[in-house]
Amino acid sequence: MDMFVVRGGTPLQGRIRVSGAKNAALPIMAASIMADDAVTLRDVPDLVDVRTLASLLGTLGLLVERQDDQSLQLEVIDNSATVADYELVRRMRASICVLGPLLARRGRACVSLPGGCNIGDRPIDLHLKGLEALGADIRIERGYVMASAKRLRGNRVFLGGSFGSTVTGTCNVLAAAVLADGVTTIESAACEPEVVDFGNFLRSLGAKIDGLGTPFLRIEGVRRLGGTDHTIIPDRIEAATFLIAGAMTRGDVTVENCCPGHMSAILDKLKETGVEITEIEAGSGSTGATLRVRGPQSLKQAECSALPYPGLPTDVQAQFMALLSLADGISVVTDKVFPDRFMHVAELVRLGARIHREGPSAIINGVGRLSGACVMASDLRASAALVLAALAAEGDTVIRRIYHLDRGYEQIEQRLNSLGASIRRVEDCAENVPANLQLTQGVSVPAPHIAVAASVAKTAAPQER
């Protein structure tokens, strides 16, 4: 297992390109199950999650080949498999997106209940409710969703939930409705750009879908879907992460391949904190927009609420918390999508942040500086927040469990190092922890106490997922 050793305190400078959106690429890959002809997907990042889903699709009869650094070709060569096994699905929640396509194309699906990041309760009841409304027979046995239907039928489906609409649920029901008999209407559909990209992909295969980008979708079922050549939209979460990195380090960073129209809430909130962001003219042959961020000498406090799109994404909540830990005054961050998504708070406190939690909110008293420490990542976006905080902190920081980062950011250390960061990926062992972060450096601790502490840490450690 690897860890990062980050030397902070250097303003980032230079240009960096945003990859294709992971949260669009994964459901689109899953929906390729429904295509009768070959599918080419462009600007697909080489991530652990992408590789995991490619392996799962391989077990479901698809040939998945990486054509170059940014392109995948997918082709169905066997339509008989219908079981998405636990050993692969448990690694990544987005694997549940094969449920709708399998059911619609093959009439049966047996999909393990999903795993993924530990960020709070994320049931799939809305997925199942929507598929049942289309005529599927669904039951849960031995940890698997068992779904079957001789032929799906169009119907009215309502997908509103306690914390808003469901992104993956919308994708699953939308995929199933595309091959159902008749017309389906989906109310309270998710409006996220990744859902729109998913719908546009299905339309390029021959699906008939109206209303993308609104809470009301109308789908007229078709008999078959062909192939396509589709480019994934830019990753707005990765773009936000790089913008915040430039701001927190008081740097000057140009971020290429952005889609500002997908990031209105993010850009507005960054400007509210005093961050200077300008859109600059892209060079010939460039895709997407280019944004330049310049970090201020002092950040302003702000109140942030993570909300469904077009609000501030929950996937940038942790990164904004890292930013606001250095802002003047008192800031408040509330997550109304995943109210328990605050496992990064304790680790930011280890770096010198002053944060305490009040229910679904975190109260942040800005500090003048952060200082390096040993921290541990709990999920993908928490990992990104710790990297950002480490880049802005004085001295060295060790970040453990960076495998979370590899799920959603392609070679993030190399890309940030190209901006002047100092991040080393090393084996997670005591010898690679900088001397100034060693427990015994300048401190006398009796050996028996160390042994007891190690024993407690071992028994208290959370189970890996």
Q: Which residues are catalytic?
A: 117
* Cα 193 versus chain centre, distance: 13
Whole-number Å distance between alpha carbons of 98 and 244: 33
**Four-CA torsion 384, 248, 253, 382, nearest 10 degrees:** 10
Q: Collect contacts of 222-225 with beta carbons under 8 A, ≥24 apart.
A: 222/178, 222/179, 223/179, 224/36, 225/34, 225/35, 225/36, 225/178, 225/179
Q: Are 288 and 317 in contact (CB under 8 A)?
A: no
What letter would DSSP give residue 315? G
CB neighbourhood size of 218 (10 A): 15
Which structure tokens are listed for 139?
């039951």
The single-letter code of the amino acid at 203 is: R
Could you give the CA distance from residue 107 to residue 101 in angstroms, rounded to a whole number?
Answer: 9
User: Does residue 413 contact residue 436 with C-beta atoms inside 8 Å?
Assistant: no
Instruction: Taking the CA atoms of 38, 41, 42 and 47 in sequence, report the sign of the dihedral they define.
Output: negative
Percent of the chain as helix, strand, coil, to the nearest 5 = 35, 30, 35
The dihedral through the CA atoms of 199, 205, 209, 210 has a sign that is positive
Enumerate helices (H) and strands (E) in the chain, giving the number of each.
Answer: 15, 28
Helix, strand, or coil here: 156?
strand
- Residue 73 has φ and ψ, to the nearest 5°, of -120, 130
For residue 32, list its beta bridge partners.
none
| Cα–Cα distance, 160 to 186 (Å, whole number) | 10
Return the structure tokens found at 151. Answer: 């032929």
CA dist list (Å): 283 to 15, 261, 276, 400: 13, 19, 21, 38
